[in-house]
Amino acid sequence: MEGVNQRQMEIIAKVNEKGFVKVSDLSNGLHVSFVTIRKDLAFLESKGLLYRTHGGASKQSIYTYERSVREKENIRVNQKKEIALKAKNYIDENDSIILASGTTILYLADLLSDFKALSVVTASLRVALTLSDTEHIEVVHLGGVLRKSSVSVAGSIAERNMNSFSCNKLFIGVDGIDLKHGLTTSNDSVANLNRTMIQSSDHVIVLSDSSKIGKHSLCKIAALEEIHTIITDSDILEEQKQAIEDLGIELVIV
């Protein structure tokens, strides 16, 4: 790599190995000052070899952006289906549940046809249509402003309607899960509706593939302390796993 010295090569190797490294750990491990490490990280970021973060560097950008549902359908499909399958175990007969929106939530909806008594409140048109032919599942669609990128609704109408319900469990997908910023998404109206969903449920279960952990987006939904369970895949980093469990959150890895 042109212009990259041996110390910087070691930094790249550590970032690639761990996914995320702290300035303090690099300083101690390489026996140089924090200032030197920060200069190295700035140089390596300018070369497109890593991303600087608060207090360290990561292999991938920590920022997320809104993708269309069609694009999301082709990303980490196997992991999402495994997460949905595990999430089904958290649903009992006669539950009243909220299914927010997103591809993993849709995969979960596909698995519910064998329930004999279930009430589902959802913002997703695709979830509502998936469950519409299931005789024993009562479906409540919130209504509101249609977001074409996700084929779901949001806005004040959906929020007012959500306030009319009290449910056992919420199953929610997010754009990012971060220790500092909590649960985030790229759209403000979705964040507002998701906050209302959290307030209307007893148990909050986040369905997220591991690529979203350690990242954050523009709009905050809730602090991590407000959720109960995260279901993710085995690509989660060990330090992320430990940090989540240290908060007392149930972490389920598939």
Low-confidence ranges of the chain (pLDDT < 70): 61-75
Give the model's pLDDT for residue 7. 93
List, for residues 122-136, the tens digit of each pLDDT value.
999 999 999 999 999
Architecture of the 69-253 domain: 3-Layer(aba) Sandwich (3.40)
Please state the three-class secondary structure of the chain as a single string: CCCCCHHHHHHHHHHHHHCEEEHHHHHHHHCCCHHHHHHHHHHHHHCCCCEEECCEEECCCCECCCCCHHHHCCCCHHHHHHHHHHHHCCCCCCCEEEECCCHHHHHHHCCCCCCCCEEEEECEHHHHHHHCCCCCEEEEECCCEEECCCCEEECHHHHHHHCCCCEEEEEECCCEEECCCEEEECCHHHHHHHHHHHHCEEEEEEECCHHHECCECCEEEECHHHCCEEEECCCCCHHHHHHHHHCCCEEEEC
pLDDT number for residue 70: 59
Give pLDDT, residue 217: 87
Q: Residue 101 has what pLDDT?
A: 93
Q: Domain spans of the chain? A: 6-58, 69-253
Class of domain 6-58: mainly alpha
What does the pLDDT read at residue 3?
Answer: 82
How high is the pLDDT of residue 20? 80
Q: What digits encode the pLDDT tens for the residues 146-169?
A: 999 889 999 999 999 999 999 999
